Amino acid sequence: MAASGTAATDKRRMILDAAMRVFARQGFHTCRVSDIADEAGVAYGLVYHYFSSKDEILDTLFLERWNVMLQAISEADRSQRSPREKLSAIAGFIVDSYRHEPELMKVIVVEVTRAANTFGRTHLAKIREAYEQIAGIVARAQAEGVFRSEITPEFGALAFYGSIEQVLTRWIFDRDAVAEDELDAAKTMIVETICRGLERDAAPAPEASAGAALAEPSTPARTAASRSA
Amino acid sequence: MAASGTAATDKRRMILDAAMRVFARQGFHTCRVSDIADEAGVAYGLVYHYFSSKDEILDTLFLERWNVMLQAISEADRSQRSPREKLSAIAGFIVDSYRHEPELMKVIVVEVTRAANTFGRTHLAKIREAYEQIAGIVARAQAEGVFRSEITPEFGALAFYGSIEQVLTRWIFDRDAVAEDELDAAKTMIVETICRGLERDAAPAPEASAGAALAEPSTPARTAASRSA
Amino acid sequence: MAASGTAATDKRRMILDAAMRVFARQGFHTCRVSDIADEAGVAYGLVYHYFSSKDEILDTLFLERWNVMLQAISEADRSQRSPREKLSAIAGFIVDSYRHEPELMKVIVVEVTRAANTFGRTHLAKIREAYEQIAGIVARAQAEGVFRSEITPEFGALAFYGSIEQVLTRWIFDRDAVAEDELDAAKTMIVETICRGLERDAAPAPEASAGAALAEPSTPARTAASRSA
Amino acid sequence: MAASGTAATDKRRMILDAAMRVFARQGFHTCRVSDIADEAGVAYGLVYHYFSSKDEILDTLFLERWNVMLQAISEADRSQRSPREKLSAIAGFIVDSYRHEPELMKVIVVEVTRAANTFGRTHLAKIREAYEQIAGIVARAQAEGVFRSEITPEFGALAFYGSIEQVLTRWIFDRDAVAEDELDAAKTMIVETICRGLERDAAPAPEASAGAALAEPSTPARTAASRSA
DNA sequence: GATGAATGAGATTTCATTCAT
DNA sequence: TATGAATGAAATCTCATTCAT
């Protein structure tokens, strides 16, 4: 998406896109700079005309996308929606990112966010910004009484993000493309599971009858929303 | 140490332990075989006497620990405990693994389980065994009516394992040792959040009315609740 | 500037002057063509509009200056002065060259006259022209009986030029500018030492035997001595 | 000599000797590390087993020889000989160095002592140690009244060393081996020219006797003069 | 003239692995 | 078993030079 907004004749962009594909296919450590140049259809040296090192290419790819994500999280947070809806928006954004740019997401998840000795360490502050913003959403939900307080906001953020990343990791390992409905189902399950795990008990609503157990997963959310209103 | 059944003077074991420390400290790709030999205090070539390649060392470290974990999961599953207790045992096992061998766990999390193009791909089947066993626990809990069915067992397993791994990742990135109480708290929060997210609503028990906030989520939850109270 | 007959806005000249500074500062092998272009404030490719290669720039710088020096030596030689005065004029010219263009002289001494495998070899004939002309002065002084014949003219020229070049080398290695009086003193000492070394014994005094052929060549030496007295 | 004292099977030595030949033949900047390995008949990587870089090889070659020279200068200085004899010993040592290891001397003269931006700068202190020791000999000769004081000891050292280096440079540029008698003649001429240039006037006549404080230090000069007569 | 993007050969250096002892 | 010298195939990065505009 973001990456393909620019003209295809921009060589710098071509190199970045090629690097994304090559990193996704072979891994950062396993590929050579010449693989990137070949994939981009440019001369070897041009890669070094635009980037000072192989590392800088990955840094660029990561930062471009992560900044967009941080913005998406910010926007979700600033909205007037319920905590569950905010988290749903964030999960949706990440899942959509994978939907549209699975290779880029693979690179980020595989080469950056877990690379504790290399890129993950370099970008630690940026990465944690995301967790902290999510934790902020959780904290405010707790203050409002929508989320219970037994779980620390920090842990809530980790559980939420960790669940998403694990789902992404699963897709990444599967060689074939993920079906559309699986993408949507995943988003729903993430929100449904984690939010339910974080939310206070719904008001038992005496008349909520017996077997009506889980008619619609939205019940808790609605309850939460109504309470916070 | 804990991982090793053999004496500490066994050179093979010394090399494995040294490799664990070096991989944790510098990363698999960033370290040299000579770093391992130096750390172990043995000659360069001896590494190749015991292992056929640098890869094989990591394979060995991973498999040793992962097999122990698979066994722990099996045992938890075979027990007569409630689903929540089973998952609690598993989370506890992983957290304890980190407690006792943070370096080994760092290596596994950082170098193997996310390495989609290298070791993660090699050990995919082994890694998935764990998810599948956990999914089995979820599935049986659903069959028993303890867990609700809106969430697929596979996703339940991913959310559970993903949350744990994300907590581990946080610890891995933090340079200083994790406090004992934080380890315990994390385990509790994982189980409390994910299980609550997976469990059915408690029987609304009409009379359970108002303030009975976190009464029913069954025994483990009660423990957590009481602590937080 | 001094070296340039052309206007300072002449791009070709700007490139040459910039190259001189860059070669002096970083060394020929260590600098890049882009460094020269940057220093000159012109575009990269313009360097190749005026010069066919990086080598050609150094060739040009060297030849420009060396030809001026050869001319200066010629003029000194053609003059009616004494051998000592001729050598003094030459030493003075070289020292003045350093006085006015230390960077250019640094480049010539460091990058050309000793570069036995590269530029020194290329310009060997030109370089030797200087030695040969100086040797010619020495030979004629010997023929006139002013210089003694135990020293070959070729060696005399080498000793003379070598002493100067070594003084220049000293200045080149010193980071700070050379004081005016040091420049003059150096010239005097070079001439004083080498000429005295080359000259016949001063007439040991009238009664000092018969054949005291050549009385006057000692005059300058005596002057120097009396000055120090 | 020094370099070939070790067994020919010492690979480190073989690499150093090969490097010397290759640097002399092609120049430091123009040769590749693989040229050195090939010349030495060893594998590429072995060069890096023994030396951390191409630079370090040249550093080693230079320091080995320069330290021997510093020692030779020291010894000459400590001896009870006249200043002229001391300088003669030093000139003789350097000329002999060239006689036995012309390639090594070429490398030192061409690649190090003039390389103001690279190796010369690195080894500046070491290089100047030599000048300073020679200057010390000159200074003491002046204090004894053997050398005149119009010339600073520093300049005297530069003139002496510069003359030698220029002679070496001449030989270096000549492709064919230097004849034995030329080597000896050069040494004699260097000493004869520079020492005469530095020495006081010979005692002007027998009757000058009396106060002729320093009769004997002039002996060598007189000898030289008489020899030339 | 003037620009700077584009090219690609080649250099240094690294390091997993082998092997003689 | 144990050693570490020896091997050599890459990989990254540099930079002189070309060329389209």
Can you give the pLDDT at residue B222? 37
Distance, CA of B154 to CA of B134 (rounded, Å): 8
The model's pLDDT over C6-57, given as tens digits with 9 standing for 90+, comes to: 455 799 999 999 999 999 999 999 999 999 999 999 999 999 999 999 999 9
Distance, CA of A170 to CA of B134 (rounded, Å): 15
Can you give the pLDDT at residue D172? 97
* Residue in the block written with tokens 């390639």: D103
Can you give the pLDDT at residue A205? 46
Q: Residue A215: which pLDDT band, with cuts at 50, 70 and 90?
A: very low
**Pairwise CB contact (< 8 Å): C173 & D109:** no
The model's pLDDT over A150-196, given as tens digits with 9 standing for 90+, comes to: 999 999 999 999 999 999 999 999 989 999 999 999 999 999 999 99
pLDDT at D192 over 50: yes
Can you give the pLDDT at residue B5? 44
Distance, CA of D96 to CA of D69 (rounded, Å): 11
Name the residue among C118, C166, C201 with its Cβ closest to that of D165.
C166
With H, G, I as helix, E, B as strand and everything else as coil, classify residue C131. helix
Can you give the pLDDT at residue D70? 98
State CA B100 to chain mean position distance. 12
Query: Considering the entire predicted model, what is its pTM?
Result: 0.86
Calculate how close chain D gets to C9, using CA atoms only, in Å: 30
Give me the B residues in range 55-84 that sit within 7 A (CB) of strand E.
Answer: 55
Strand F nucleotides, any atom under 7 Å to a protein CB = 1-20
Distance, CA of B32 to CA of B53 (rounded, Å): 12
The series of mean pLDDT values per 10 residues for chain C, 229 residues long, is: 53 97 96 97 96 97 98 96 97 98 97 96 98 97 96 97 98 94 96 95 51 38 38
For A201, nearest residue in chain B (alpha carbons) = B213
| CA neighbor of A69 nearest in space, from A37, A101, A42 | A101
> Which tokens in the block code for residue A18?
């090629």
Burial (Cβ within 10 Å: 0-12, 13-18, ≥19) of residue A180:
exposed
Can you give the pLDDT at residue C201? 79
Radius of gyration of chain C (CA): 20
Decide: CB of C32 under 7 A of nucleic strand E: no
Distance, CA of A26 to CA of A16 (rounded, Å): 15
Q: What residues contact residue C61 under an 8 Å CB cut-off, 6+ apart?
A: C16, C19, C20, C23, C104, C107, C108
Can you give the pLDDT at residue D2? 37
User: What are the φ and ψ backbone dihedral angles of B43, each rounded to 5 degrees?
Assistant: -75, 150
> Which tokens in the block code for residue A151?
């779980």
More confident residue, A226 or D45: D45
Q: Residue D175: which pLDDT band, with cuts at 50, 70 and 90?
A: confident
Q: Which residue is nearest to nucleotide F7 (CA to C1')?
A: D43
Distance, CA of B163 to CA of A131 (rounded, Å): 13
Decide: CB of C34 under 7 A of nucleic strand F: yes
Can you give the pLDDT at residue D228? 41
Calculate how close chain C gets to D27, using CA atoms only, in Å: 6
Can you give the pLDDT at residue A162? 98
Asked whether D30 and C118 are in contact (CB, 8 A), the reply is yes
Q: What residues contact residue A44 under an 8 Å CB cut-off, 6+ apart?
A: A33, A34, A37
Residues of B within 8 A of A200 (CB-CB) are 213
Q: What's the mean per-residue pLDDT of chain B?
A: 88
Residue count of chain D, please give it.
229
For A110, nearest residue in chain B (alpha carbons) = B114
The per-residue DSSP string of chain D comes to -GGGGS-TT-HHHHHHHHHHHHHHHH-TTTS-HHHHHHHHTS-HHHHHHH-SSHHHHHHHHHHHHHHHHHHHHHHHHHSSS-HHHHHHHHHHHHHHHHHH-HHHHHHIIIIITT-TTTHHHHTHHHHHHHHHHHHHHHHHHHHTTSB-SSS-HHHHHHHHHHHHHHHHHHHHHSSSPPPHHHHHHHHHHHHHHHHHHHBPPPP--GGGTTT----GGGHHHHHHHHHH-
Helical (H) or strand (E) element with C121: helix C119-122
Compute how many other C-beta atoms are within 10 angstroms of the C-beta atom of residue B128. 14
**Pairwise CB contact (< 8 Å): B151 & A110:** no
With H, G, I as helix, E, B as strand and everything else as coil, classify residue C190. helix
Can you give the pLDDT at residue B207? 46
State CA A67 to chain mean position distance. 11
Calculate how close chain C gets to D137, using CA atoms only, in Å: 16
Round to a whole number and report the distance in Å from the CA of D41 to the C1' of F1.
32
Residues of A within 8 A of B55 (CB-CB) are none
First to last CA, chain B: 39
**Pairwise CB contact (< 8 Å): B166 & A161:** yes
Asked whether B43 and B22 are in contact (CB, 8 A), the reply is no
Q: Which of C166, C172, C218 to mutate to probe the D interface, most D CBs <10 Å?
A: C166
Asked whether B148 and B139 are in contact (CB, 8 A), the reply is no
Residues of A within 8 A of B120 (CB-CB) are 173
For residues D207-225, one letter each, b for 16 or more C-beta atoms within 10 angstroms of the residue's C-beta and e for the rest, the string is: eeeeeeeeeebbebbeebb
* Residue in the block written with tokens 């001319």: C71
**Pairwise CB contact (< 8 Å): C29 & D29:** yes
With H, G, I as helix, E, B as strand and everything else as coil, classify residue A168. helix
Query: Quick one: CA dihedral A99, A104, A110, A115, positive or negative?
Result: negative
Rounded to 10°, the helix A83-100/A54-78 angle is: 150
Can you give the pLDDT at residue A175? 86
Determine the nucleotide nearest to C50 by Cα–C1' distance: E1
For residues D72-97, average pLDDT: 97
Provide the percentage of residues in chain B whose pLDDT is more than 90: 82
Distance, CA of C78 to CA of C98 (rounded, Å): 23
Compute how many other C-beta atoms are within 10 angstroms of the C-beta atom of residue C7. 8
Can you give the pLDDT at residue C203? 52
Query: Quick one: CA dihedral B119, B125, B128, B133, positive or negative?
Result: negative
Q: What residues contact residue C215 under an 8 Å CB cut-off, 6+ apart?
A: C203
With H, G, I as helix, E, B as strand and everything else as coil, classify residue A199. strand
| Alpha helices (runs of H) in chain A, residue ranges in sequence order | 11-26, 33-40, 44-50, 54-78, 83-100, 102-107, 119-122, 124-143, 153-173, 180-198, 218-228
For C28, nearest residue in chain D (alpha carbons) = D117
Round to a whole number and report the distance in Å from the CA of D123 to the C1' of E7.
38
Q: What is the 3-state secondary structure (H, E, C) of C138-173?
A: HHHHHHCCCECCCCCHHHHHHHHHHHHHHHHHHHHH
The model's pLDDT over B88-108, given as tens digits with 9 standing for 90+, comes to: 999 999 999 999 999 999 999
Distance, CA of C132 to CA of B78 (rounded, Å): 101
Distance, CA of C110 to CA of B54 (rounded, Å): 49
| CA neighbor of D107 nearest in space, from D16, D190, D35 | D16
Round to a whole number and report the distance in Å from the CA of C95 to the C1' of E13.
44
Distance, CA of B119 to CA of B113 (rounded, Å): 8
Q: Residue A202: which pLDDT band, with cuts at 50, 70 and 90?
A: low
| CA neighbor of C152 nearest in space, from D174, D227, D185 | D185
Can you give the pLDDT at residue B217? 41
Can you give the pLDDT at residue D224? 38
Q: Which of B114, B181, B184, B192 to mutate to probe the A interface, most A CBs <10 Å?
A: B114
Q: Contacts for A150-157 with beta carbons within 8 Å, 24 or more apart?
A: A150/B189, A150/B192, A150/B214, A150/B224, A150/B225, A150/B228, A151/A197, A151/A198, A151/B189, A151/B192, A151/B193, A152/B185, A152/B189, A155/B167, A155/B186, A155/B189, A155/B190, A155/B193, A156/A194, A156/A198, A156/B193, A157/A131, A157/A132
User: What are the φ and ψ backbone dihedral angles of A147, each rounded to 5 degrees?
Assistant: -100, 145
For B124, nearest residue in chain A (alpha carbons) = A173
Round to a whole number and report the distance in Å from the CA of C49 to the C1' of F17.
11
Residue count of chain A, please give it.
229
> Which tokens in the block code for residue B212?
């009975």
Can you give the pLDDT at residue B203? 55
Provide the percentage of residues in chain A whose pLDDT is more than 90: 82
Q: What's the mean per-residue pLDDT of chain A?
A: 88
Distance, CA of D217 to CA of C31 (rounded, Å): 51
Q: What residues contact residue D125 under an 8 Å CB cut-off, 6+ apart?
A: none
Give me the A residues in range 18-47 that sit within 7 A (CB) of strand F.
Answer: 31-34, 44-45
Can you give the pLDDT at residue B42? 96
Residues of B within 8 A of A129 (CB-CB) are none
Can you give the pLDDT at residue B43? 95
Distance, CA of D187 to CA of B204 (rounded, Å): 112
The model's pLDDT over B28-50, given as tens digits with 9 standing for 90+, comes to: 999 999 999 999 999 999 999 99
With H, G, I as helix, E, B as strand and everything else as coil, classify residue C5. coil
More confident residue, A58 or B209: A58
